[in-house]
Structure 1
Amino acid sequence: MPLQLIKGIYLRNVQEFNFFTLGCTVCAVIFLIRAIGDFKYVGFFKKIKHSQFARNDTWLYSPLCLFISLVYLFVLF
């Protein structure tokens, strides 16, 4: 039923773009920004690379955020 509401079957005046497309775009951009990082502590382009969190961020967290961003873009298109 909620998917039918988003697609506009029951609410004809509500367009699909307002909820689904905007939400996917916002989430994709947020996760992409997280994957790129702040250029100091997190992301692929961080400067501090020798802590345990930095190693986990390089091998686990940033690729996961990039993957989630790509999934949102795939769902969007």
Structure 2
Amino acid sequence: MVVEVIIRIVNVLIFLFLSGIHIYWAFGGRWGVEAVLPSKDGVKKLTPSPVGTLVVASGLAFFSGVSAIELESYQWMYLVVGIVFGLRVIGDFRYVGLFRRVKDSVFAEKDTVIFIPLCVYLSLSNLFLYFY
């Protein structure tokens, strides 16, 4: 189906971009760092290590591979990816997601405008691929 192929291609590109930017950050890149980490009153609530950032980059690259390869025996992986990003949309009820309490930071603004809609798309698209 054409829609399925388009969703797969878009997901691969998104996951590769996100993986690449995490690799950039892991090796010391500074672009965008101020807007992607939760903070409260100017104090960062998360300071990921380069190794942790590379782990996230690896996971995103893996998700790209899941989107790129069509293997019926691994269809359940779409469900896992959909649930992971669905949970990210809900958040931790403090700094991240729809139900966060801290709403007056640069991250909170970007979370509302960019990160949550992106995670909604990734969750719904992977659930579509699972049920399709």
TM-score class, shorter-chain normalisation, is 0.7 to 0.9
Separation in 2 of the partners of 1:72 and 1:65? 11
Alpha-carbon offset, residue 63 of structure 1? 1.2
Q: CA RMSD in A?
A: 1.3
Aligned residue-pair number? 63
**2:104 pairs with 1:46:** no
Task: Choose 1 or 2 for highest CA Rg.
Answer: 1
2:16 equivalent in structure 1: none
Alpha-carbon offset, residue 50 of structure 1? 0.3
* Equivalent in 53, 59, 68 of residue 113 of structure 2: 59
Note the 1:1-77 alignment, pairs <5 A.
3=70, 6-7=71-72, 16=73, 19-20=74-75, 22-77=76-131
The code of the aligned residue for 2:89 comes to A
5+ long unaligned stretches in structure 1: 8-15
Separation in 2 of the partners of 1:48 and 1:25? 30
TM, length-normalised to structure 2: 0.45
| Identity of matched residues, % | 40
